Structure formats: C-alpha cells, structure tokens
Amino acid sequence: QSVLTQPPSVSAAPGQKVTISCSGSSSNIGNNYVSWYQQLPGTAPKLLIYDNNKRPSGIPDRFSGSKSGTSATLGITGLQTGDEADYYCGTWDSSLRAVVFGGGTKLTVL
Amino acid sequence: QVQLAESGGGLVQPGGSLRLSCVVSGFTLSDFYMTWVRQAPGKGLEWVSYISSSGSTIYYADSVKGRFTISRDNAKNSLYLQMNSLRVEDTAVYYCARDWANVGFDYWDQGTLVTVSS
C-alpha cells in the first residue's frame, strides 16, 4: 500500500491530452515538493518534473506538473505512442522521514 | 557527461550479504545527496535509503532499517549499500540515483538485480 495514491492506469488516443493524479497528505505532498518519473519497459526511471512544475533540461513542454493542497497532477499533451510507460510521483514525507513514491500509473496510448 | 555505474548484484541465499557499489563520473559527488531505490519484479518503485552530501545525514526505509547501511566515499566518487540479513522479499533491481533538487532524482544508473533465494 503506497503512501501516495495514483490511478493504476489511464489511456488516451494519440494527439490527445491525459492527466495523472497523485494524492497524498499534509506530511508529504502538502508540505513538500513533488517529482514525476517516466519508466519505459526495462529501463531506469527518468525524471520528468521536479519541484512540482519544473522540467529538467531536455524534457519537452508537452509534460507539465502542478500541485494543489495534498494532490499533484502530471499532464501530458500531444500524446505519442512513445509515451506509453509507467509514471510515478514521488516526494518527501516529513512524518515518516522517508522518500515516498506512488504505486505507479500505466499509460496506454490507444 | 554524467554517468553512474553500479556493481555488486547477484544471487545470494536468505540471511546472506551483498555490497552494492555505484561509481559516478561527470559531476562532483560531494555536491549532491544520493539515494538507493529498488523495484521488485513487476512492482513499483520503493525507496531504500538516502544520504546527504557529506554523509552526516542518513535515512532508511523501515523495511531495511537495521539490515542495510548506506555510505559514500566522495574522494573515490562512490556510493555504497551494504545489505545484510537478506530476505527473499529484498529481491529487486536496485538503482542508485542523484538528487538534483528536493528528492527529484535526475540521474539513475542502469540498475543491478539482487536475487535472494535458496
């Protein structure tokens, strides 16, 4: 049972937009920065978003992040088949004194 | 360019020990916090341990506390994870990663498989 809650799966058509939610509490998302990762099959995770809404160099602006209260959202526009992957949110939990991840969301581009 | 190269994984019996090493290049290790994250087969990401840039602050997941020890040698550009009293449930791909900002981990190694089985 993950501390952060994500939907197990989402799907959308190529070219469309999708959002992935990440729900937590005041001890994690509510008072700490959120990051998002993309993991393609058989590869290491890749940082997409850090500090809630910042993109590392090289990450296209099709990927966006936002946070409101104890929830965060990853948005992906202009979906491509290459975006099919597992997506994870992560943050620090001040009560647990631990890094926590969501359970992951599998994105299918139909 | 930034690179992280991990070694030390393999097959070990329950109760055994392994030491993972992560050698970094392309950046100054002493400038960054580092972490270990694992992923059991077919499962999601699970954070294992986290160490500050100087090594003075360390955190562990409850699942490994008392059994695993994280350390670093900045002079050798190396991060370590000593794993003792290994259990079947520790079987996973283990990743070392760099903390770019506020537990946003920007560089990960390729991962090494640790299999605990009799």
- To the nearest whole Å, the CA of A31 is away from the closest chain B CA by 12
pLDDT in 10s for each residue of chain A, 110 residues: 889 999 999 999 999 999 999 999 999 999 999 999 999 999 999 999 999 999 999 999 999 999 999 999 999 999 999 999 999 999 999 999 999 999 999 999 98
Task: Name the average pLDDT for chain A.
Answer: 97
Per the structure block, which two tokens stand in for B25?
């290049």
Distance CA A24, CA A90 (A): 10
The edge-to-edge listing of strands for the beta sheet with B3-7 is B3-7, B18-25, B78-83, B68-73
H or E element in which residue B23 lies: strand B18-25
Only one residue has tokens 């699942």, namely B63
Please list every residue in chain B whose beta carbon sits closer than 8 Å to the beta carbon of residue A54.
101
Please list every residue in chain B whose beta carbon sits closer than 8 Å to the beta carbon of residue A50.
100-102, 104, 106
Cβ(A19)–Cβ(A11) below 8 Å: no
Q: What is the DSSP letter of A32?
A: S
Whole-number pLDDT of residue B9? 94
Only one residue has tokens 């590869």, namely A43
Give the rounded distance of the alpha carbon of A41 from its chain centre.
Answer: 16
Please list every residue in chain B whose beta carbon sits closer than 8 Å to the beta carbon of residue A102.
44
Only one residue has tokens 């890094």, namely A99
B2 inside 8 A of chain A by CB: no
Tally Cβ neighbours within 10 Å of residue A68: 10
Give the rounded distance of the alpha carbon of A63 from its chain centre.
Answer: 10
Phi-psi region of A83 (alpha: psi -120 to 50; beta: other; left: phi over 0): alpha
As a 3-state breakdown, chain A gives helix, strand, coil percent values, each rounded to 5, of: 5, 50, 45
Nearest CB partner across the interface for A101, out of B44, B97, B101:
B44
Whole-number pLDDT of residue A66? 97
Whole-number pLDDT of residue A1? 81
Q: Are A88 and B45 within 8 A, CB to CB?
A: yes
Q: Are A47 and B61 within 8 A, CB to CB?
A: no
Please list every residue in chain A whose beta carbon sits closer than 8 Å to the beta carbon of residue B97.
45
Distance CA B24, CA B73 (A): 11
Task: Using 50 as the pLDDT threshold, list the residues of chain B that sit under it.
Answer: none
